[in-house]
Amino acid sequence: MAKPTTRFICQACGAPHAKWQGRCDACGEWNTLSEEVTEARGPGPAAKAAGGRRVEFVGLKGKSAPPARILTGIAELDRVLGGGMVPASAVLVGGDPGIGKSTILLQAAARIASAGRRSLYISGEEAVEQVRLRAARLGLTDSPMGLAAATSLRDIVASLEGEGDVALVIIDSIQTVWLDALDSAPGTVSQVRACAAELIRLAKARGFAIVLVGHVTKEGTLAGPRVLEHMVDATLYFEGDRGHQFRILRAVKNRYGATDEIGVFEMTERGLVEVANPSALFLAERRGNVSGSAVFAGIEGTRPVLVEVQCLLSPSAGGSPRRQVVGWDSGRLAMLLAVLETRCGLGVGQNDVYLNIAGGLRIAEPAADLAVAAALISAATDRPTDPGAVYFGEVGLSGEVRQVSQAETRLREAQKLGFTAATLPRRVARGSGTPAALPGLKLSETGHLADLVAVFAAQTVKRRNVDAPATGKA
């Protein structure tokens, strides 16, 4: 019989090492190697293994029925999942501590149970009484869902195998579950990988949907091995500041729906409340007569979202100018500043630049370039943008404004919210599938960023001519 072997596993990335060393060669992290004992495999090549059955191969042509869905009763959560929970699927939910992961899952489990489906909530971080206190605060005490507190994988598997018709199982969290056959501590790479694999196997075999709650590192990524995200069918991230009432649930992986789909929630005393029209919520406190502000017509997944881009320029006190960005890519901001300086002759490089996406939403698509540029130009010239205008378009290094996808969807969302003008890339208005005009919405095409700078420069000259007689200066 083969003897057990000792390996050193990196707790940050899961890479194995033959001996201990201070720095992981795979990810570069320091002091992350932990000793783990594994059973060595017996001799003999895998090709000579007996007892297997032949796998049946089929062709690509054929039809399959769409997967059945279990509606959670929370429209925003169902939207992110692609229409609801899929039986025999595995979902991984991550987010910062206190962001609302346990709250939204407890609400979903209670509503599914109230609809007549068996749902179980297994907590490894809180006692039963603590979960009951949260359920009482959320008004969920009348729900017939099952609640338990356990961390042993053997106990959890034995309990689930003894249950009847279960529709949903929630494990909060996977880092607290441990298997006694492994010598490593709970939360380590080997424990998380083994426990998650066994729970997902059981969910596939028994046909219930399982949700695994995962911790995140200080960098904002899911803790544990990267293979955990590959094992599940969907990965959801909770975004937002705990000091802010808005929460964004984003799907970064979904085998049964669209990726980058978002759900918007508002944290209240009664739990997380879904927001049906996030654009109106993000623009509720906007002041249109302030320079450095522009409205971006964006797309998050399949949903159009309008958000306000805020920019503030301040004279630098000396040394290297500061660039502070919240909700956007700092690298693209540096690129836009270089384009405005070099291609458009707008001197903003010696100022401290502060950029913020209002509402706590993080924008990743390049279509926000034109809206950010409009906010920068507005702040540099001290001239407000048109309060009834939206902006979208990608900016290239030569200053050209490039076309973006789903222009019609963006324009219709702006029209629905009462906007009267839109600045967009040239020829998009006459492109395929995009209307030449929308009632009450004036389209302004621009081919180069210098054209947008000229619009604000013309407003500045006009303002000076109006103010000249009053000040006595020509």
Domain contains 474: no
Do 85 and 25 reside in the same domain of the chain? no
Predicted model pTM: 0.77
Q: Are 289 and 387 in contact (CB under 8 A)?
A: yes
| Residue 10 predicted with pLDDT over 90 | no
Three-class DSSP category at 34 = strand
Domain contains 69: no
Do 323 and 378 reside in the same domain of the chain? yes
Single residue among 247, 276, 305 that ends a domain in this structure: 276
Sequence-ordered alpha helix ranges (H) in 115-261: 128-138, 153-161, 189-206, 227-231
Question: Which pairing describes strands 421-425 and 442-446: parallel, antiparallel, or unpaired?
Answer: parallel
Residue 345 — left, alpha, or beta (φ > 0 → left; ψ -120 to 50 → alpha)? left
Q: Are 161 and 202 in contact (CB under 8 A)?
A: yes
Single residue among 242, 276, 310 that ends a domain in this structure: 276
Do 215 and 253 reside in the same domain of the chain? yes
Alpha carbon 267 to chain centroid distance?
Answer: 17
| Residue 469 predicted with pLDDT over 60 | no
Percent of the chain with pLDDT over 70: 88
Domain contains 200: yes
pLDDT score, position 223: 66
Average pLDDT over residues 61-80: 88
CATH number of the structural domain spanning residue 236 = 3.40.50.300
Considering 10-14, 21-25, 109-113, 312-316, the range whose residues carry the highest mean pLDDT is 109-113
Do 271 and 292 reside in the same domain of the chain? no
Whole-angstrom Cα distance, residue 401 to residue 366?
Answer: 11
pLDDT range class, residue 73, cuts 50, 70, 90: very high
Do 140 and 263 reside in the same domain of the chain? yes
pLDDT score, position 39: 55
| Residue 307 predicted with pLDDT over 50 | yes
Do 269 and 311 reside in the same domain of the chain? no
Do 270 and 295 reside in the same domain of the chain? no
C-alpha distances in Å from residue 96, one per residue of 74, 135, 200, 332, 404 = 21, 21, 24, 26, 32
Domain contains 204: yes
pLDDT digits 0-9 by tens, 133-153: 999 999 999 999 999 999 999
Domain contains 51: no
Do 145 and 241 reside in the same domain of the chain? yes
Least confident of 89-93, 239-243, 411-415, 441-445: 239-243
pLDDT score, position 370: 97
Number of domains in the chain: 3
- Geometric angle at alpha carbon 102, from 100 and 105, rounded to 5°: 105
Whole-angstrom Cα distance, residue 220 to residue 228?
Answer: 16
Do 319 and 245 reside in the same domain of the chain? no
Q: Which residue has the higher pLDDT, 87 or 41?
A: 87
pLDDT range class, residue 305, cuts 50, 70, 90: very high
Residue 202's domain comprises 75-276
C-alpha distances in Å from residue 12, one per residue of 198, 220, 303, 320 = 21, 13, 34, 34
Average pLDDT over residues 297-318: 90
Do 387 and 263 reside in the same domain of the chain? no
Single residue among 250, 276, 302 that ends a domain in this structure: 276
| Residue 44 predicted with pLDDT over 80 | no
Q: Are 210 and 91 in contact (CB under 8 A)?
A: yes
Tokens of 338: 């270089």
Q: Which residue has the higher pLDDT, 207 or 39?
A: 207
pLDDT score, position 463: 52
Domain contains 54: no
Do 352 and 380 reside in the same domain of the chain? yes
CATH number of the structural domain spanning residue 425 = 3.30.230.10
Q: Which residue has the higher pLDDT, 405 or 289?
A: 405
Do 347 and 220 reside in the same domain of the chain? no
Q: Which residue has the higher pLDDT, 428 or 289?
A: 289
pLDDT digits 0-9 by tens, 182-235: 888 888 888 998 999 999 999 999 999 999 999 887 666 776 667 788 899 999
Domain contains 57: no
Domain contains 55: no
| Residue 468 predicted with pLDDT over 70 | no
| Residue 253 predicted with pLDDT over 60 | yes
Whole-angstrom Cα distance, residue 393 to residue 325?
Answer: 20
Q: Considering the chain, what is the average pLDDT of its residues?
A: 86
